[in-house]
Amino acid sequence: MTPDTDRPDTGVTGGAEVTEGREDYETRDVTGHHEATGALADPNSLDGRGPRDSPGALDIVEYTDPLCPWAWGSEPVFRRLRAALTDDDRVHWRRVYCILFDHDDDPAPDPAAETAWYARYVEEISAHTHAPRALRLSRVAASSWPASLVAKAAEAQGTEVADRVLRRLRESVFVLGEPADTPESALAAVSGVPGLDAERLAADAASAEVLAQVRADHAEARRPVAEVLSVRGGDSPHPGAAKEASDGQRRYALPTLLVRTAAGHRVVPGWRPYEEYVAAVTELSRGLFPAPTAPHPASPLRPALAPTPLPPATALAHYRTLTDPERIHLTDAAPWPPPGTVRVDTANGPLWLHPDEAAVHPATAPSRTTAPR
């Protein structure tokens, strides 16, 4: 897999791009596949997936990839935003898997050099996001298709299972250093996820129906709204202007959130602070966020933005794994870590595991370090 030639090899200016080719996931004949036309999207009519008709309905479309380092670094604010909106039945959150690492007919001439270059690139990104990164990256991912198919298939088993499956797929590369880039490794990465029917997941991920869904995602991602074609960066190291794919089409930078109601839309591309996502939501849906009652540790200079911070033990039991940026966004000021927490060290801070998660998580299979009580 060869990096795009239009991306500079120094500085952090965007999501990790790779040359996009066409292999069997692209060429297999699947009924219902929507070919990308290259046209700009009507944000309220994307493949028939526009805002629902109920009054006040709010759709949030997350353009992402399981193996994207900027998407991994955005997990703290996305988890916080989802928690703020989780109890409101007017909100529908949908993920679109954009296929960051597409199939390439031409392998890298020097895989070791490519891996070393990409590891430095992830290191630069993690310096901005403070997200964990693997102590050693075994290789650059060959393809995002297997992980995206598994993540999409997991949605049939409910939101909680789907969230945990996607999280494990992200951790495969950014904690373990072993990208889930084959069907076998993607399924192995999610082994032991609570509530997951592993046999059903394997069957669904290999099905024509799920393949068609991910191919539709791939096409939708390449019909960006006009606002992301030119984006002012401000203070963001990754402002999120649409990327040019190898076939000449534009696709959303990762991650991008598109917030939509029947009355209009707002788009928040790239790596952004939590307050920018809140502003996009509140501009379209006044009163959606409850009035704050106390300052939030992650926003000490301004009134709190929902959700209410959780006690550390409660947050860890709910999310199963937390990074340091996530515990700042999601927990209150109580002492950390909770009793029994398992710590996994990475090259950029720890990943904290609930003891039940540590019992089944791939990161703790070879060795385990228990956090002090």
Q: What is the pLDDT of residues 260-315, one digit of tens each?
A: 998 899 999 999 999 999 999 988 887 665 555 455 555 554 434 567 899 999 99
Asked if 202 contacts 187 with a C-beta cutoff of 8 angstroms, the reply is: yes
| pLDDT band, residue 86 (cuts 50/70/90) | confident
Summarize pLDDT for 99-124 with one digit per residue, the tens.
999 876 467 889 999 999 999 999 99
Structure tokens at 143: 């393809």
| Cis-peptide, bond into residue 255, ω within 30° of zero | yes
- How far, rounded to the nearest angstrom, does the alpha carbon of residue 197 sit from its chain's CA centroid? 22
Between 198-205 and 208-221, two packed helices, what is the crossing angle to 10 degrees? Answer: 60
Is the Cα dihedral 168, 170, 175, 177 positive or negative? Answer: positive
Summarize pLDDT for 204-215 with one digit per residue, the tens.
999 999 999 999
- How far, rounded to the nearest angstrom, does the alpha carbon of residue 238 sit from its chain's CA centroid? 15
Who contacts 199 (Cβ-Cβ below 8 Å, separation ≥6)?
Answer: none
Residue 295: predicted pLDDT? 54
Mean pLDDT of all residues in the chain? Answer: 83
Q: What letter would DSSP give residue 286?
A: T
